[in-house]
Amino acid sequence: MTGDPAKMSCAEFQAQLPELIATGEDAAAHPHLQSCQDCRAFLASLEAIAEAARQLFPSVEPPDEVWERIESAIRREAAGSFDPGL
């Protein structure tokens, strides 16, 4: 493995990518990407997925029965019939 980031192979770059991403550094500025279109596209696809993740699974309301069950369970617990395995 070369010590020069600009000369590293795609495999070397991608092996470092999880750590590079997790540190919050601007992975897109890595010297390897200046000359590697494949890895630029690879990184762009991961960024697109992370970006899209924030729009996933819009929040939804639970049905009213959930609160009714919670209230019942609270009443049971208050009455001394607490079931720790609930």
Partner 1 sequence: MADSPTPAQAPNRSQSRRGADVLGAAAGRSATSIPAGSSNSVEAGALTRAQAGDHEAFAQLYALHKRQIYSLCLRMVGNIVEAEDLTQEAFLQLHRKIATFRGDSAFSTWLHRLAVNVVLMRLRKKGLSLISLDEAMEPTPTEGPSRSFGSADLRLTGAIDRLALERAVAELPAGYRLIFILHDVEGFEHNEIASMLDCSIGNSKSQLHKARLKLRDALRAQNRQKEPS
List residues near partner 1 by CB under 8 A: 10-11, 14-15, 17-19, 21-29, 36, 38-39, 41-63, 65-67, 69-71, 73-74, 77, 86
**Residue 46 CB, nearest distance to partner 1 (Å)?**
5
4 or 60, CB closer to partner 1?
60
In the chain the first and final C-alpha atoms are separated, in Å, by: 55
**Residue 5 CB, nearest distance to partner 1 (Å)?**
16
Classified as helix, coil or strand, 4 is coil
Give me the DSSP letters along 42-63. Answer: HHHHHHHHHHHHTTSS---PPP
Residue 2 region, left (φ>0) first, then alpha (ψ -120 to 50), else beta?
beta
**Residue 77 CB, nearest distance to partner 1 (Å)?**
8
4 or 29, CB closer to partner 1?
29
